[in-house]
Structure 1
């Protein structure tokens, strides 16, 4: 074998190796962990779960206790620890506070905020909500320090684009978060070090859409706007699933480039 043949053979082997490495890196992330927000529990994510599962994703929905931000982050990290590889972490509403903290876990590859708060270090949910107030005025407190949305306005302010019966059931089965969780500042935000996406529900009355845009732009998130209520995960599951799937594909592409 002459020198030219040896060089060509070596080059071919190297190219095959690089192609194989690129193919391995190009595999999209298959683990999706979802942290629901306050007021509605994880069962409302069933349609998103089913859509993603049908496409080969392994989806797990966290059920945070809503007793404190610390406990809610711990519950999310517990699920992240169970994943068999990198994961996309998804947060809705107050869940955005949770994933901003929990997203610092080593196996979180990217974060998707769905109609969610997207805090910076030292900020609380109350800080953010007060800057550009939401349309709803129906949030009230129990005598022992838990919050809920008045069932009389729940449909209009949380789930206006859902069938009446479904919105009314959500109002009567809502999860009460501890008020203290809304007053707890977050640490170093995971979005500083990891790619993020933000789905903004343009008809949201629970979080002001302008506030969501401001937070997402500050974080450098990829922004997708959807005409929907705060309950976009239930009213437009296809749109939510699409953002998560596109995040997985984008992260795979970034891995190839790197």
Structure 2
């Protein structure tokens, strides 16, 4: 049974990947969707690392948005997939690279306890603007408050330098500038371009399922768990 780990981004929950996970499981894969919101990038990375280490074979690890910062620090992946996500180099954070678009920043609401949340109407347009209305409403209803500081976290490991990777540029993204995505995509082994907004796991889950299944069929799991297969970088 092939193994897959799906890593959500800021404000999101594992449930946002529910349809993708269900379809991959139906096709025969073991799928784990860790809960982030552990309070910091190192804590989120540790949670995903524990999920990877618990699997019987090195998995394909997909990170969305901030989830890219998380999977960059994880060792033992068979293949990394960055979905409109941050591919960070030494000393970089998501914030340093530009982080959220002005439109996404405008949707952020400061909370009294120091956390932030997203204005529902603005979140629909920014994160799910290309999704059917009922799916966008469902996705916004799942969003949760976010602890501060995660976007400023700097990974201590850079696994894309050691494992093969695929970057998916979401060309209609309103949350992370597609030009920034293309720059980060140049660090990866392979690049795909989808005509979607920021959240294809909501509006176009079949695209993610097809990509993961393609990678499962065409990539070999590494024998060791240290850092995966050495890439050309």
Name whichever structure is richer in helix by fraction: 1
Query: How many angstroms does 1:196 deviate by?
Result: 0.4
Mapped partners of 2:25, 2:12: distance in 1? 21
The answer as to whether partners of 2:94 and 2:152 remain within 8 angstroms in 1 is yes
Is this contact kept in 1: 2:166–2:191, CA < 8 A? yes
Instruction: Give me the whole-angstrom Cα distance separating, in 1, the residues matched to 2:83 and 2:116.
Output: 21
Do structure 1's residue 227 and structure 2's residue 195 form an aligned pair? yes
- Counterpart-to-counterpart distance in 1, 2:102 and 2:204: 21
| Distance of 2:167 and 2:38 partners within structure 1 | 23
* Unpaired stretches in structure 2, ≥5 consecutive residues: 224-229
* Structure 2 partner of 1:152: 121
Residue aligning to 2:227: none
Q: CA deviation at 1:134?
A: 5.2
RMSD: 2.2
For structure 1, list consecutive stretches of 5 or more residues without a partner in the other structure.
1-28
2:100 maps to 1:128: no
Selected match of 2:46 from 57, 74, 83? 74
Corresponding residue SS for 2:57: coil
Q: C-alpha separation between the residues in 2 aligned to 1:253 and 1:66? A: 29
The equivalent of 1:55 in structure 2 is 27
Correspondence 1:247 to 2:219: no
Q: State the distance in 2 between where 1:229 and 1:165 align.
A: 16
**Contact 1:134–1:208 (8 Å) recurs in 2:** no
Please say if 1:185 is aligned against 2:167. Answer: no
Q: How does 1:4-23 map to 2 (within 5 A)?
A: none
Output the CA distance in 2 between the equivalents of 1:121 and 1:147.
Answer: 27
**C-alpha distance after superposition, 1:153-209 (max 9, x if no partner):** 111100012222332333233122222111111223100000001111111111111
Which range is displaced more, 199-208 or 65-74? Answer: 65-74
The normalised TM-score by structure 2 is 0.87
Displacement of 1:135 in angstroms is: 4.1
Mapped contact 1:154–1:168 kept (Cα < 8 A): no
Contact 2:170/2:178, CA 8 A, preserved across alignment: yes
Aligned residues: 223
Distance 1:134 1:214, change over 3 A: farther
| CA radius of gyration, larger in | 1
SS of 1:59's equivalent in the other structure is: strand
Instruction: Report the CA distance shift for 1:145/1:239 in structure 2 as closer, same or farther (over 3 A).
Output: same
In 2 relative to 1, CA 195–151 (structure 1 residues): closer, same or farther, beyond 3 Å? same
The separation in 2 between residues aligned to 1:242 and 1:122, in whole angstroms, is: 34
CA displacement, residues 215-240 of structure 1 (integer Å, 9 cap, x when unaligned): 011x1331111111111111111111
- DSSP 3-state at the match of 1:204: coil
Shift of 1:66: 4.2
Using the size of structure 1 for normalisation, the TM-score is 0.79
Residue 243 of structure 1: CA displacement? 1.6
Task: Give, in whole Å, the separation in 2 of the partners of 1:83 and 1:143.
Answer: 39
Q: Does 1:203 align with 2:169?
A: no
